[in-house]
Amino acid sequence: MIVDYHTHTSLCKHATGTPEDYVLRALELGFDEIGMSEHIPMPDSFDERHRMSIEEYYQRYAPSVVEVSERYKKRIQVRRGIEADFFDGTQEWVREFIKENDFDFVIGSVHFLGSWGVDDPTFVHRYEEADVDRIYEEYFHTVERAVRTGLFDIVGHYDLVKKFGYRPTRNMDELIREVIGEIKKNDLCLEINTSGLRKPVQEMYPSEFILSLARDVRLPLTLGSDAHAPEDVGKDFPLAVEMIERYGSGKISLFEKRERREVDVTKTSD
């Protein structure tokens, strides 16, 4: 079994393609499942540069996902997901939005520390101006708080803070291990996200060290390309599958109606 649970479309305003384009690419690759996981709309037009509006979600995105799911159901399983931000003050709004929609899975991601988008190239200069050690500490503590909310099924790009290649000078192992323990305690799944290989850091999310900690506590794993173009679907999955075999006993997690099950992963080629 091979799946890609992390994809984006032109509606997020920084990607290309329609849900159908992503489904067709997954079919070309021989995938068994494809997950539609556009960025969640947020209240008060928050971060509207990088996400669809609530109206766009209900009028365009959700209906199109249902349509392609039905059209291609005999050839591939299309899972309905969302990538939901953890941002202080919006937890209840996000909780209600998730309740209102029939998702198969919810990816929980931290993109913001306060008003700063840690992965936004527009504000990368903040890494030069601030204490990188403190940035990492705040980031992982925020991931820990996100995990505790009970809102999510999958932890997305666990160590996204490394995207631009800035590294802490202080050892963060204990903090990282603490957060892994919270993921286990709250029964979440960890995503192996290959998009970091296409970013300045040139490393998957999470690192192999973090995956080794995940293996120690037997965290379930799943796969996501974080595709922002149809051609990114399944990108670098042969390496990701190696990580699944090494750190996840060759098992990947699948989701339906927010219920998780594990199956054997299938080798793939780009």
pLDDT single digits (tens) 161-199 = 999 999 999 999 999 999 999 999 999 999 999 999 999
Q: Is the CB of residue 192 less than 8 Å from the CB of residue 240?
A: yes
67-89: b (≥16 Cβ within 10 Å) or e: ebbeebeeebbbbbbbbbbbbee
DSSP string for residues in 13-64: SSS---HHHHHHHHHHHT-SEEEE-PBPP-GGGTTGGGS--HHHIIIIIHHH
* % of the chain exceeding 90 in pLDDT: 93
- Paired tokens of 41: 């709309």
* Global pTM value: 0.96
- Give the HSE-up count for residue 176: Cα atoms under 13 Å, Cβ half-sphere: 20
| Average pLDDT over every residue of 40-58 | 88
Is pLDDT at 156 greater than 90 in this prediction? Answer: yes
The 10s digit of each residue's pLDDT in 215-255 is 999 999 999 999 999 999 999 999 999 999 999 999 999 99
Strands 259-264 and 251-256: antiparallel
Amino acid occupying residue 33: E
| Segment 97-124 mean pLDDT | 95
- What CA–CA distance (Å, rounded) separates 15 from 107? 18
Is 174 exposed, middle or buried, given 0-12, 13-18 or 19+ CB atoms closer than 10 A?
Answer: exposed
**What is the predicted pLDDT for the residue at 269?**
63
Place of tokens 């992390």: 6
Is 270 a residue whose pLDDT tops 70? Answer: no
Structural domains of the chain, with CATH: 3-264 (3.20.20.140)
**What's the one-letter identity of residue 190?**
L
